[in-house]
């Protein structure tokens, strides 16, 4: 049976046309960057068309924002393989539905008992970026039940999908890493000088969209305490604010000594900044079940990264990242680990090397592209006759 099944898949592979549905650059989203890399990797194996009217098997990339509205509609109308980049679609649906439709969708996911809760959450939606209840109810059922297969990047996302659609086929494929064109050491040094980082200073970095779940206030508070004790430190905060409330609250702290502020960075500047930092901080709480593309990128180039402890990072070796517990101990743990990395640079270097070794062994874009292609061909072979 196995030989027959493999033969059927290989037949499908020869003539399969994959439909690829996702935001792509220049959209300012990690999903777009991921999709662009994966698209190139898939095209090494066969025919892949972006947004075709017809295809043999469709690959849909879903995330928790409005950029995915058209992809979401098509994934429901013409089922295919869904990549769940965020294992939470709650905020996406909040922005897409009116009150009545939102309440009915919530009840569809969680049952009639939840109708009152749904109305309460609708009324409080202005706080959805920070209120953990919007993350505890991901609203995945419709997309997961409809899909022919659901791709996730970590055990947290797999568990969330399974809770919403027990019969769904869930396939875990690691988040991909594509090595960038590397600027020279001289370019990186000049970039640090332009930022005003003193020679020999230890530079921490925070990258990506700035929302409450990135725990920026804790990072700024911890860094302030570290900088008062160790002045040869600096913190780069690079990215656009999503929340105006957070921006107002963070503004006084961002003006503190040692902090450097940059807006959203296009790809070449991102990689230059990523290489310029000595360590990165990428916390996520409440988490949306996502594997951070920024974390994977920074680990891949050998930077030590501080992440929130949780199942989203379960596959990273214990000594390849620095885990920060969420909750009351978060700020203190951040401070202690920042001091450790600054004081004993061999620790930072060792963590970065182990992280790079792991990413380049399991997350390489060529390996990930092959896993996707095999899955798509298998789905194609099982869902329609081979041409």
Architecture of domain 2-89+138-176+364-383: 3-Layer(aba) Sandwich (3.40)
User: Residue 2 has what pLDDT?
Assistant: 42
User: Residue 180 has what pLDDT?
Assistant: 86
User: Residue 352 has what pLDDT?
Assistant: 97
Classify strands 259-262 and 170-172 as parallel, antiparallel or unpaired.
unpaired
Tell whether omega for the bond before 286 is within 30 degrees of 0, i.e. cis: yes
User: Residue 18 has what pLDDT?
Assistant: 97
- Which residue ranges in the chain fall short of pLDDT 50? 1-12, 385-387
User: Residue 384 has what pLDDT?
Assistant: 58
C-alpha radius of gyration, the chain, whole number: 22
User: 2-89+138-176+364-383 with 185-362: one CATH topology?
Assistant: yes
User: Residue 287 has what pLDDT?
Assistant: 84
Q: How far apart are CA 193 and CA 216, in angstroms?
A: 25
Domain ranges across the chain: 2-89+138-176+364-383, 185-362
Cα dist. 340→136, 204, 265 in Å?
Answer: 34, 13, 28
User: Residue 46 has what pLDDT?
Assistant: 96
User: Residue 163 has what pLDDT?
Assistant: 96
283 CB-contact burial (10 Å; exposed 0-12 / middle 13-18 / buried 19+): buried
Burial 161-195 (b: 16+ CB within 10 A, else e): bbebbeebebbebbbbbbebeeeeeeebeebbeee
Which CATH code is given to the segment(s) 185-362?
3.40.50.2000
Alpha carbon 210 to chain centroid distance?
A: 13
């Amino acid at each position: 049976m196995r030989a027959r099944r493999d033969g059927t898949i290989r037949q499908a592979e020869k003539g399969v046309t994959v439909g690829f549905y996702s935001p792509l650059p220049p959209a300012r989203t990690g999903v777009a960057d991921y999709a662009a890399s994966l698209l190139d990797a898939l095209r090494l194996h066969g025919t892949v068309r972006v947004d075709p009217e017809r295809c043999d098997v469709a690959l849909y990339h879903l995330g928790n924002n409005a950029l995915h509205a058209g992809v979401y509609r098509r994934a429901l109308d013409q089922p295919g393989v869904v990549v769940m980049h965020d294992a939470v679609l709650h905020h996406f649906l909040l922005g897409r539905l009116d009150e009545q439709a939102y309440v009915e969708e919530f009840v569809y996911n969680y049952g009639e008992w939840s109708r009152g809760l749904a109305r309460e959450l609708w009324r409080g939606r202005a706080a959805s970026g920070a209120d953990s209840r919007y993350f505890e109810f991901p609203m995945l059922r419709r997309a997961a039940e409809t899909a022919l297969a659901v791709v996730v990047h970590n055990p947290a996302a797999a568990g969330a999908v399974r809770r919403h659609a027990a019969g769904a086929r869930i396939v875990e494929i690691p988040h991909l890493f594509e090595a960038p064109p590397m600027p020279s050491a001289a370019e990186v040094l000049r970039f640090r000088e332009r930022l005003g980082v003193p020679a020999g200073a230890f530079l921490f970095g925070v990258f990506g969209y700035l929302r409450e779940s990135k725990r920026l206030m804790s990072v700024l508070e911890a860094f302030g305490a570290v900088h008062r004790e160790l002045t040869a430190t600096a913190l780069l905060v690079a990215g656009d604010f999503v929340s105006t409330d957070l921006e107002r609250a963070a503004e006084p702290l961002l003006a503190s000594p040692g902090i450097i502020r940059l807006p959203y960075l296009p790809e070449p500047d991102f990689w230059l900044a990523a290489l310029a930092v000595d360590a990165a901080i990428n916390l996520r709480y409440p988490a949306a079940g996502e594997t951070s593309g920024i974390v994977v990128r920074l680990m891949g180039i050998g930077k030590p990264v501080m992440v929130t402890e949780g199942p989203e990072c379960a596959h990273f070796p214990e000594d390849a990242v620095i885990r920060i517990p969420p909750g009351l101990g978060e700020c203190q743990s951040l401070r202690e680990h920042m001091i450790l990395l600054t004081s004993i640079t061999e620790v930072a270097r060792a963590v970065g090397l182990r992280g790079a070794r792991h990413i380049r062994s399991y997350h390489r874009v060529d390996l990930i592209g092959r896993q996707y292609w095999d899955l798509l061909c298998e789905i194609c072979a099982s869902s329609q006759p081979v041409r």
